[in-house]
Structure 1
Amino acid sequence: MLIICVSAGGSPGVTSTALGVALSWPRGVLLVDCDPHPSQAVLAGYLRGVSESGRGLGALAESYRAQRSDSSGGLLEQTVALDDGSSPQRRFLPGFTHPRSALLFSGYWERLVGQFDDLQAGGIDVIIDAGRLDADGLPSALVERASTIAVVTRSNLPALATLRLALPQLADATALIPASPGLVVAGGGRPYSAPEIARQLEMALLADLPWDPATAAVLSDGAVPPRKLTNRPLWRALRGLALQLGGRPGVRGRRTTRGRGVIS
């Protein structure tokens, strides 16, 4: 199973959402930073400054150019642990380190996806943090393998206006595949509710993530976890999203009927 998390723009919490889902995933999982805009957010934030030590997509590109093996074992050698190594296995593949790296990687997505296929055959699912869409859109090799594309947005008008502008691009990218984009609203009700947004945009609602700054800071900044972290509202919602997405292929979320709204 391959899940893509993406946003239309801004910083609605794509990385925190993808990370939170990975940490709650019911099976072995690999979180992959495919954001074309380099940030190293997981290494510097949640992992509190862990060095990639030369591992990541850049090192994979070098191995592809050198015609080394494309085995899933070679891929896992480029990853770092997301937790203490307990079962199920949770790993992280660091992303690009230079602004033009994504462009230079464009010829290698098919080879990377082939390694993802091998991982999935061995019981390890893949979650893609695709960051925010750019003019080139999502790599087609990833989209073609995706079970679900989770589009993360805030609930304020600027974020929703940006998302509406990106919907044609998302529709074109997914026109010929089974996976259609689903909506993840981060901080619903600030001010518009998640069901209202889903109705207006005519998208399936995958999750309404509650406003919970203390928990969000753990994921984004590596902050000291609050007491009973796993019982916090945001953590529970992310766990629910992970179980929903990981429970079966082709998750579609809750369809809503179109109604009057404020997003035009």
Structure 2
Amino acid sequence: MITIVSGKGAPGATTTVAALAAVWPAPVVLADCDPAGGDLAAGWLGQWVLDGTIRTDIGVLSYATATRHAVVGDPAVLSAHVQVVPPAPHVGLLAGLSSPGQQTAVGAAGWTRLTAALAAVKTANGRPADALVDVGRYSTVTPWPLLAAADLVLVAVRPTQRHVLAARPILTELAERIVPNRLGLAVCATTPAGSRETTAALGHQTTVQTAADARTAAVLSEGANAGTLPRRSPLLRSLRHTARRLHLTYHHYTPHELHGPHPPARTSAGGRR
């Protein structure tokens, strides 16, 4: 589970996590867990929401409601609240809240149950599956269970003075509760030089860097071209190697599984995927 969080100024966290999911080399759950309200469905998948393919009432809130009497999170129940992403069928979307007020209906217990379910979700053949989680802008209502349980927490930042300064207090607070090897940077709309400068300014390793690519960013954040991913994209190309590296960091495959004719098995999600 990789969780991404950002500071003020919209550095590009949601675009980055959507792009990372789009190029992920295996089935992945893309969880929109921003307590202020999610943008993934309305942005990248807006056209699919309008035509009824993606339902915004199925996701974080419906899972929290369905499990309100449960003691722990159940990945089998979670699968019924995950919807296939038409432009990227290996991605299952856990749609976010529609408004900030809905986060009170989820509550601390709901976020804890959801965290346990995401951490335990498996593919159809029983392997641990991956989850990419967007918790939005860091605030007093940020769902800490999704940060504490993550294998990796990324702070999204752009290589500008304003965004670097906004990221500093967040990193300081996160570093008090998250060990260094589980905390990194997602430097957005950058160059290798920009990533190096940001790393030096913040004292944390750049784990993910995305190239500046306005055309693809418009697809992922505004639903341009009905959310269809461009075949040639500097942004997606900049992430493919990173996605594979991160996936293989937490999974171990035999040579046949890595190089054979079939990729790792799809995640089972109650018939939705």
TM-score, length of structure 2 as denominator length:
0.79
Gap runs ≥5 in structure 1: 251-264
Letter in 1 for 2:146: L
SS in 1 for 2:176: helix
Query: How far has the Cα of 1:70 moved from its partner?
Result: 4.8
- C-alpha separation between the residues in 2 aligned to 1:122 and 1:100? 36
Query: How far has the Cα of 1:53 moved from its partner?
Result: 5.1
Q: Which residue of 2 aligns with 1:181?
A: 183
Query: How far has the Cα of 1:138 moved from its partner?
Result: 4.4
Give the conservation status (yes or no) of the 8 Å contact 1:138–1:173. Answer: no
Q: Which residue of 1 aligns with 2:116?
A: 114
1:132 to 129, 137, 140: 137
Alignment of 1:134-153 (within 5 A): 134-139=139-144, 141-153=145-157
Give the conservation status (yes or no) of the 8 Å contact 1:143–1:173. Answer: no
Letter in 2 for 1:124: A
Letter in 1 for 2:110: Y
Point out the more displaced range, 216-225 or 65-74.
65-74
Q: Are the structure 2 counterparts of residues 67 and 174 from structure 1 closer, same or farther at C-alpha, using a change threshold of 3 Å?
A: closer
Q: Which residue of 2 aligns with 1:201?
A: 202
Q: Which residue of 2 aligns with 1:19?
A: 18
**1:37 equivalent in alignment to 2:36:** yes
Q: Which residue of 1 aligns with 2:260?
A: none
Give the conservation status (yes or no) of the 8 Å contact 2:159–2:187. Answer: yes
Q: Which residue of 1 aligns with 2:232?
A: 231
- Identity in percent: 27
**1:162 equivalent in alignment to 2:198:** no
Point out the more displaced range, 40-49 or 55-64.
40-49
Point out the more displaced range, 29-38 or 159-168.
159-168
Point out the more displaced range, 235-244 or 181-190.
181-190
Letter in 1 for 2:16: T
Letter in 1 for 2:80: E
Letter in 2 for 1:28: P
Give the conservation status (yes or no) of the 8 Å contact 2:121–2:128. Answer: yes
Query: How far has the Cα of 1:209 moved from its partner?
Result: 1.5
How many corresponding residue pairs? 242
Cα RMSD, aligned residues only: 2.8
Q: Which residue of 1 aligns with 2:62?
A: 59
Gap runs ≥5 in structure 2: 252-273
- C-alpha separation between the residues in 2 aligned to 1:136 and 1:129? 14
Letter in 2 for 1:14: A
Q: Are the structure 2 counterparts of residues 173 and 146 from structure 1 closer, same or farther at C-alpha, using a change threshold of 3 Å?
A: same
Q: Which residue of 1 aligns with 2:259?
A: none
Give the conservation status (yes or no) of the 8 Å contact 2:195–2:209. Answer: yes
Q: Are the structure 2 counterparts of residues 133 and 79 from structure 1 closer, same or farther at C-alpha, using a change threshold of 3 Å?
A: same
TM-score, length of structure 1 as denominator length:
0.81
Q: Over residues 139-172 of structure 1, what are the superposed CA-to-partner deviations in whole Å (9 max), with x where a residue is unaligned?
A: 1x22232111121111111111111122211112
Q: Are the structure 2 counterparts of residues 6 and 127 from structure 1 closer, same or farther at C-alpha, using a change threshold of 3 Å?
A: same
Alignment of 1:73-112 (within 5 A): 73-83=76-86, 86=89, 89-105=90-106, 106-112=108-114
SS in 2 for 1:248: helix
- C-alpha separation between the residues in 1 aligned to 2:247 and 2:88? 20
Q: Are the structure 2 counterparts of residues 186 and 117 from structure 1 closer, same or farther at C-alpha, using a change threshold of 3 Å?
A: closer
Query: How far has the Cα of 1:225 moved from its partner?
Result: 8.2
Query: How far has the Cα of 1:66 moved from its partner?
Result: 4.5
Query: How far has the Cα of 1:222 moved from its partner?
Result: 1.5
Q: Are the structure 2 counterparts of residues 134 and 226 from structure 1 closer, same or farther at C-alpha, using a change threshold of 3 Å?
A: closer
